Amino acid sequence: MGRPTSSKLRVAVLAATGMVGQRYVSMLSNHPYFQVAVVTGQNSVGKKYGSATAATNLPMAEEAKRLTVKATNAESLDDVDAVFSPLPTEVAKTLEPELVRSGFKVITDASPHRMDSVVPLIVPEINPQHLELLERQRKVKKWKGVLVATPNCTAAGLALVLKPLHDALRLKRVLVSTLQAVSGAGYPGVPSLDIIDNVIPYVKDEEEKIETEPLKMLGEVGRDRISPAKFEIGAMVHRVATTDGHLESLYVETEERFELEKVTKILTRYRGEPQKLKLPTAPAEPIMVTNVEGRPQPKLDRYAGTVPGMSVVVGRIRKGLDSKSGRLTLLSHNTIRGAAGSTILTAELMYRKGLLG
């Protein structure tokens, strides 16, 4: 009602002045489906968004810069068609259900509701069909709106690579060792004194997320619930002195014997619904395989592909200790494929399926 100048959906970005929030606004600048109508924040309420984010250098639409930052609550949201939520865990836990009860359609990359049995946890290439769960969500929760989640920044790239492998080779066990960028901890995040000339072999709650979220995403939607995929994931996480790009080295055990060339083929050819629908934020190749020695590397590969930050780059594909195991290293941009990008791609998918607007 009364949107004469644009037929785009009006969206809100919560916590828009944060590091991931800015990534959203930047990626949504000149977006064909969505227009950022509301930005919220905490310490800069009342300021122009452009001045509140002047210290960074992500390119943003002038239109977005002119928005006034509002407080993060239902009143600020006006009649937006969708709400993107990169809220901190504690805030998301209570505010997101509140917004959904009021009728908002919330797509979140916060963690609290990811494992809720009626909240779809989506990487659009992997499990678009999990959106069916929304029907059940409506019945069970009696919410007026909907809540859709996207996974942890490390789990996103991991699940994307595991999906075609599981389809073709039936995974049995995956051990993953991560080398995660400091941007994964948000801003101000990791103190420089902690990470210069150092590694921290720990990220709070991260291993649990990596070990459970991909199994939900690769699971099957049953009548009442999602049956998680039937393999095991073990994680060992590390924080390193890189700015962006989570590197993950995998040791994979499968039910089937396989040749290495097959793995390359499976990964390279993998396409999902976003590629078929040619969604705006869908990279041409969700998974790119490199055979250059010593690659992928965060600094060189984090923006590879047609939509910078959305392709996962895989390299060092090699044998494991027996004929049913293999090793590989993947790199995934943690604030794009691991956060803003996956969530926007999910919204694009929902839009095309008539679930938004």
Give yes or no: 153 in active site.
yes
Burial class (CB in 10 A: 0-12, 13-18, 19+), 43: exposed
3-state secondary structure of 1: coil
DSSP structural state of residue 91: H
Q: Does 57 bind its own copies (CB under 8 A)?
A: yes
Q: How many Cα atoms sit within 13 Å of 234 on the Cβ side?
A: 6
Nearer to its own copies, 182 or 279 (CB): 182
Q: Does 329 bind its own copies (CB under 8 A)?
A: yes
Give one DSSP letter per residue of 288-332, joined into a string. Answer: EE--STT---HHHHTT-TTTTT-SEEEEEEEE-SSTTEEEEEEEE
Residues 223-252, interacting with its own copies (CB under 8 A): 232, 234, 236, 238, 240-243, 247, 249, 251
Nearer to its own copies, 213 or 348 (CB): 213
User: If binding means CB under 8 A, how many residues of this protein chain bind its own copies?
Assistant: 55
The catalytic position among 31, 113, 130, 246 is: 246
Q: Does 21 bind its own copies (CB under 8 A)?
A: no
Shortest CB 205 distance to its own copies, Å: 12
Burial class (CB in 10 A: 0-12, 13-18, 19+), 197: exposed
Give yes or no: 333 in active site.
no
Q: Does 327 bind its own copies (CB under 8 A)?
A: yes
Please say whether the beta carbons of 156 and 332 come within 8 A: yes
The catalytic position among 31, 153, 166, 333 is: 153
Burial class (CB in 10 A: 0-12, 13-18, 19+), 175: middle
Q: Does 197 bind its own copies (CB under 8 A)?
A: yes
Report angle CA 318, 172, 200 to the nearest 5 degrees.
65
Q: Which of 299, 306, 323, 353 binds its own copies (CB under 8 A)?
A: 299
Cα separation, 249 vs 43, in Å, equals: 38
Q: Which of 17, 183, 342, 343 binds its own copies (CB under 8 A)?
A: 183
Nearer to its own copies, 208 or 224 (CB): 208
Task: Kindly state the helix (H) or strand (E) to which residue 249 belongs, with its residue range.
Answer: strand 246-254
Q: Does 172 bind its own copies (CB under 8 A)?
A: no
Q: Which of 61, 74, 200, 221 binds its own copies (CB under 8 A)?
A: 200
Residues 59-118, interacting with its own copies (CB under 8 A): none
Q: Name residue 342's amino acid.
A: S
Please say whether the beta carbons of 151 and 114 come within 8 A: yes
Nearer to its own copies, 62 or 75 (CB): 62
Cα separation, 110 vs 95, in Å, equals: 11
Q: Which of 39, 182, 215, 339 binds its own copies (CB under 8 A)?
A: 182
Nearer to its own copies, 83 or 252 (CB): 252
Shortest CB 93 distance to its own copies, Å: 23
Q: Does 42 bind its own copies (CB under 8 A)?
A: no
Cα separation, 160 vs 31, in Å, equals: 24
Q: Which of 75, 142, 193, 278 binds its own copies (CB under 8 A)?
A: 193
Beta bridge partners of residue 42, listed in sequence order? none
Q: Which of 11, 19, 100, 161 binds its own copies (CB under 8 A)?
A: 19
Please say whether the beta carbons of 149 and 121 come within 8 A: yes
**Which residues would be at the binding site for its own copies (CB under 8 A)?**
19, 54-57, 173, 175, 177, 179, 182-183, 187-202, 232, 234, 236, 238, 240-243, 247, 249, 251, 292-301, 304, 315-316, 320-321, 327, 329
Task: Give me the active site residues, please.
Answer: 153, 246
